Amino acid sequence: MEARSNTERHRQRQQKLKEHVDTRVAAATEKKGVLIVFTGNGKGKSTAAFGTATRAVGHGKTVGIAQYIKGQWDNGEYNTLQPLGVEFHIMGTGFTWETQNRESDIQAAQSVWQESKRMLADAHYDLVVLDELTYMLAYRYLDTEEVIAAIVNRPAHQTVIVTGRGCHSQLLELADTVSEVRPVKHAFDNGIQAQAGIDW
């Protein structure tokens, strides 16, 4: 008897939840590209961006990727997606704490930005990923106004994903979706090495 009333209560709750979700789904009628920001200090920002890129490729979408401050010569996302026709522009100067020459960093950032800007202006691209872009703004390697203008003026159907810690407030305001990844724990803090296929 008790079991049956639990089952019935569960059914009613689920029915209510379904009605609520259905109403919200019906209300979301707008179709357009979105700006997504993955920020915060936890692990998973670039992983989420490349996961989305993989999804998009799986639906036959055209994807372009700019990787700012990615120095790894061997990275799994490139090895998987590039042979599938995804275009990559990799700054390849190493992580910021390894670089010593501000001028050459700025030059490298600018050259990846020129490619990013071209993709943001081209309706051929359904998804443009700007991985680790936030640092380029924080270090003032790129002009924030120029970056924001290019994102605002992109083709209406195009989605843009920005990743990196400490995202600029104007970008956060502009974004349609912002996820902040919070570090609860990280293996590295317990002396566990970064690993191919997990961390890059």
What does the binding site for ligand ATP look like in residue numbers (CB under 6 A)? 41-47, 132, 163, 181, 183, 186, 188, 194, 199-200
CA distance 114 to 104: 15
Nearer Cβ to ligand ATP (44/155): 44
> Binding partner of residue 118 among Mg ion, ligand ATP, none, CB under 5 to 8 Å per kind?
none
Near Mg ion by CB under 5 A: residue from 36, 37, 39, 46: 46
Nearer Cβ to ligand ATP (106/181): 181
Instruction: Report in angstroms the alpha-carbon separations of 68 from 32, 41, 165.
Output: 26, 17, 13
Binding mask of the shown chain, residues 129 to 168, with x at each position contacting Mg ion by CB under 5 A: ----------------------------------------
Which DSSP string do the residues of 14-43 spell out, in sequence order? HHHHHHHHHHHHHH-------EEEEESSSS
Residue 65 Cβ vs Mg ion, minimum distance, rounded to whole Å:
12
Residue 48 Cβ vs ligand ATP, minimum distance, rounded to whole Å:
7
> Binding partner of residue 194 among ligand ATP, Mg ion, none, CB under 5 to 8 Å per kind?
ligand ATP
Closest Cα partner for 159 from 197, 125, 108?
125
Q: Does 93 help bind Mg ion (rule: CB under 5 A)?
A: no
Q: Which residues contact 178 (CB under 8 A, 6 or more apart)?
A: 36, 37, 39, 167, 172
Residue 128 Cβ vs ligand ATP, minimum distance, rounded to whole Å:
17
> Binding partner of residue 47 among Mg ion, ligand ATP, none, CB under 5 to 8 Å per kind?
ligand ATP
Question: Using the 8-state DSSP alphabet, how is residue 138 labeled?
Answer: H
Residue 42, judged by CB atoms within 10 A of its CB (0-12, 13-18, 19+), counts as middle
Instruction: Report in angstroms the alpha-carbon separations of 52 from 57, 64, 152, 189, 196.
Output: 9, 12, 21, 28, 20
Residues lying near Mg ion in the complex (CB under 5 A) are found at 45-46
